[in-house]
Amino acid sequence: MGNKKDDLKSAGNTVLRLIPKSMEYLEKTDEERIDYIKRERFIVYPGAQKVLNKLEELLIEPKKSRMPCLLIVGDSNNGKTSVVKKFLKMHMPTDGIETDAVPVIIVQAPPRPDVSMFYDSILDEILIPFKKSDSLSRKDAEITYYFSKLGTKILIVDEIHNILSGSVAKQKEFMNGLKNLNNKLLMPIVLVGIKEALNATNTDFQISSRFKPMYLKRWNFNKEYLTLLKSIEKILPLKKESNIAENDKLAENILDMSEGLLGEIIEIISLSAIYAIKSRKEKITLDEVKSTGYIQPSLRRSIDDLEAV
């Protein structure tokens, strides 16, 4: 008499190509499988890999008078932050204040272009005591000292488009502060934001020439998109194969609903997988996708477009 896993493999139309971890979850309860589907995870795809490769190059860049920088841009919920978080996870801090203890630091840009607030965020991130009333020069000196002490090699600033809330003069002042920090620390600075972030780096030519952009574009119906669908399906602990990538109508529907945004594609498929578990269908079809109650991004802007509950 075969075990439960063997029975799943031998049953018609069952999952044969899940990753090992997801395969283990086939034997767990529905609640455990749903919890597993909801977990945040990083999915490798060519665009993200190119960005990761570039970040790796910057990490080992030898010190020189003009250190290269990077601007990662893309639409909201299209994977920018996930990529830099993955990079951070690949270079996690080690214990203790010693050389190379904290190679990568990620902070979020302040809600307005304020250099002092930005320095506060950095000092908070590296757990260094300070007073908000401290002078800029004191905060700058602390950052310089501790970055050297911690062996920090790259600084990533997420949500850089936040600074567009201030005047052009304030935006320019903030970007000049970043440029000066880049010069003083002799380390690459990476900015991350939506496409409007290009306006922040275009305050003058010296800034725009320093922060070379890389664009994470929206998804189109092509081989790369179908490969993405296969990668996502391998994670889902469903007892039957959905073969999303082989079903053109289903794949196109998911792409249209998501409006080509990676985070939305993952959400649609995850919600559909959860519905498939709850309905005992154990596979994703067009019916599961339409039954999730998902509302596409452009329709969330008006209450008239929302379905009444």
Would you state the structure tokens that stand for residue 78, as one six-digit string? 């299209």
DSSP string, 139-171: HHHHHHHHHHHHT--EEEEE-GGGGGGS-HHHH
Close Cβ partners of 260 (under 8 Å, ≥ 6 residues apart): 78, 218, 219, 220
CA–centroid distance for 114 within its chain:
25
Structural domain boundaries in the chain: 15-41+235-296, 46-216
- Identify the CA nearest to 192 among candidates 161, 163, 168: 161
By C-alpha distance, which of 262, 157, 184 is closest to 220?
262
> Which tokens sit at 140?
């700058």
Q: Please, are residues 238 and 19 in contact by the beta-carbon 8 Å criterion?
A: no
DSSP notation for 13-62: T---S--HHHHHHTTS-HHHHHHHHHS------HHHHHHHHHHHHHHTPP
- 10-residue averages of pLDDT along the chain (309 residues): 43 62 94 96 93 96 92 94 96 66 94 95 94 93 94 95 92 90 94 88 77 93 96 95 95 97 97 96 95 91 54
- pLDDT at position 11 is 39
Q: What's the pLDDT score for residue 130?
A: 92
User: What CATH topology corresponds to 46-216?
Assistant: Rossmann fold (3.40.50)
pTM of model > 0.95:
no
